[in-house]
Amino acid sequence: MIALKRNKIVLIGAGNVATHLGISLQKKGFEIVQVYSRTEESARQLAEKLHAGFTTDSKNILPADVYFFSLPDSVLPGTLKTLPDLPGLFVHTAGSVPMTVFAPFHPRYGVFYPLQTFSKDREIDFRNIPVFIEANNPEDELLLRQIASELSDSVTVLSSEKREYLHLAAVFACNFTNHMYVQASKILEDRNLPRELLLPLIMETAEKIKTLSPLEAQTGPAVRRDKITMERHLNLLENDVLARQIYQLLSRSIVFSSEQQ
Amino acid sequence: MIALKRNKIVLIGAGNVATHLGISLQKKGFEIVQVYSRTEESARQLAEKLHAGFTTDSKNILPADVYFFSLPDSVLPGTLKTLPDLPGLFVHTAGSVPMTVFAPFHPRYGVFYPLQTFSKDREIDFRNIPVFIEANNPEDELLLRQIASELSDSVTVLSSEKREYLHLAAVFACNFTNHMYVQASKILEDRNLPRELLLPLIMETAEKIKTLSPLEAQTGPAVRRDKITMERHLNLLENDVLARQIYQLLSRSIVFSSEQQ
- State how far the alpha carbon of A124 is from the alpha carbons of A7, A65, A119, in Å: 23, 25, 9
For an interface test with A, give the residue of B76, B132, B179 to mutate (most A CBs within 10 A): B179
Q: Sort A48 into a burial class: Cβ within 10 Å, 0-12 / 13-18 / 19+.
A: exposed
Q: Where is A246: in which H helix or E strand?
A: helix A241-260
Q: At B188, phi and psi to the nearest 5? A: -70, -50
A165/B194 Cα distance (integer angstroms):
12
Total residue length of chain B = 261
- State how far the alpha carbon of A232 is from the alpha carbons of A184, A186, B78, in Å: 16, 18, 19
Below-50 pLDDT ranges, chain B? none
* Closest-approach residue (CA) in chain B for A219: B175
Q: Sort A145 into a burial class: Cβ within 10 Å, 0-12 / 13-18 / 19+.
A: middle
Where do runs of H (alpha helix) occur along chain B?
Answer: 2-5, 16-27, 40-50, 76-82, 138-151, 160-170, 177-189, 199-208, 214-217, 227-236, 241-260
Does A39 contact B at CB distance below 8 Å? no
What confidence score (pLDDT) does residue A2 get?
Answer: 59
Where do runs of H (alpha helix) occur along A117-159?
Answer: 138-151
Give chain B positions within 8 Å (CB) of A198: 115, 169-170, 173
Does B2 contact A at CB distance below 8 Å? no
Q: ipTM of the assembly?
A: 0.93
Residue A146 CB neighbours (<10 A): 15
Q: At A231, phi and psi to the nearest 5? A: -65, -45
Do the strands A89-92 and A109-114 form a parallel or antiparallel pair, or are they unpaired? Answer: parallel
> Shortest CA distance to B132 belongs to which of B115, B146, B118?
B115
pLDDT tens per residue, range A120-151 = 778 888 999 999 999 999 999 999 999 999 99
Q: Do B116 and A200 touch (CB under 8 A)?
A: yes
Q: Do B191 and A162 touch (CB under 8 A)?
A: yes
Does A178 contact B at CB distance below 8 Å? yes
Confidence at A118, pLDDT banded by 50, 70, 90: confident
For an interface test with A, give the residue of B177, B244, B246 to mutate (most A CBs within 10 A): B177
Contacts of B210 (CB under 8 A, 6+ apart): A199
> What is the DSSP secondary structure assignment for residue B108, as one 8-state letter?
S
Question: Nearest CA of chain A to the CA of B214: how many Å?
Answer: 5
What confidence score (pLDDT) does residue B1 get?
Answer: 52
Please report the number of interchain residue pairs, chain A to chain B, with beta-carbon separation below 8 angstroms. 316
Is the confidence at residue A65, as pLDDT, over 80?
yes
Q: Do A179 and B250 touch (CB under 8 A)?
A: yes
DSSP-based three-state secondary structure for B41: helix
Question: Nearest CA of chain B to the CA of A6: how many Å?
Answer: 30
Give chain A positions within 8 Å (CB) of B157: none
Contacts of A36 (CB under 8 A, 6+ apart): A10, A11, A12, A13, A14, A43, A54, A55, A56, A58, A61
The closest CB to that of A200, out of B130, B179, B202, belongs to B130
Q: DSSP string covering A87-104, please?
A: -SEEEE--SSS-GGGGTT
What confidence score (pLDDT) does residue B3 get?
Answer: 84
| Mean pLDDT computed over A232-242 | 96
Percent of chain A with pLDDT over 70: 99
Give chain A positions within 8 Å (CB) of B195: 213-214
Q: Going along B72-123, which residue ranges are E strands? A: 89-92, 109-114
* Closest-approach residue (CA) in chain B for A195: B213
Q: Do B236 and A171 touch (CB under 8 A)?
A: no
Q: Do B213 and A185 touch (CB under 8 A)?
A: yes
Q: Do A236 and B168 touch (CB under 8 A)?
A: yes
A194/A192 Cα distance (integer angstroms):
6
Does B155 contact A at CB distance below 8 Å? no
Question: Nearest CA of chain B to the CA of A210: how many Å?
Answer: 7
Contacts of B215 (CB under 8 A, 6+ apart): A182, A185, B257, B258, B261
Sign of the dihedral through C-alpha A193, B160, B70, B149: positive
Q: Do B116 and A191 touch (CB under 8 A)?
A: no
What confidence score (pLDDT) does residue A54 get?
Answer: 98
B residues 76..115 contacting A (CB < 8 A) = 96, 115
> What is the DSSP secondary structure assignment for residue B129, as one 8-state letter?
S
State the angle between helix axes of A227-236 and A241-260 in degrees (0 to 180), rounded to the nearest 10.
160
B194/A209 Cα distance (integer angstroms):
13
A121/A134 Cα distance (integer angstroms):
29
- B87 alpha carbon, distance to own chain's centre: 27
pLDDT tens per residue, range A153-165 = 999 999 999 999 9
Q: Do B237 and A211 touch (CB under 8 A)?
A: no
A54/A160 Cα distance (integer angstroms):
30
pLDDT tens per residue, range A7-34 = 999 999 999 999 999 999 999 999 999 9
What confidence score (pLDDT) does residue A1 get?
Answer: 52
Whether B204 contacts A181, CB under 8 Å:
no
pLDDT tens per residue, range A39-62 = 999 999 999 999 999 999 999 999
Residue B139 amino acid letter: E
A236/A228 Cα distance (integer angstroms):
13
A25/A116 Cα distance (integer angstroms):
16
Q: Do B182 and A257 touch (CB under 8 A)?
A: yes
Whether A35 contacts A18, CB under 8 Å:
yes
A116/B203 Cα distance (integer angstroms):
10
* Closest-approach residue (CA) in chain A for B250: A176
For an interface test with B, give the residue of A20, A202, A224, A236 to mutate (most B CBs within 10 A): A202
What confidence score (pLDDT) does residue A122 get?
Answer: 82
Does A210 contact B at CB distance below 8 Å? yes
Do the strands B131-135 and B109-114 form a parallel or antiparallel pair, or are they unpaired? Answer: antiparallel
B48/B53 Cα distance (integer angstroms):
8
pLDDT tens per residue, range A73-111 = 889 999 999 999 999 999 999 999 999 999 999 999 999
> Shortest CA distance to A109 belongs to which of A77, A149, A156, A75?
A77
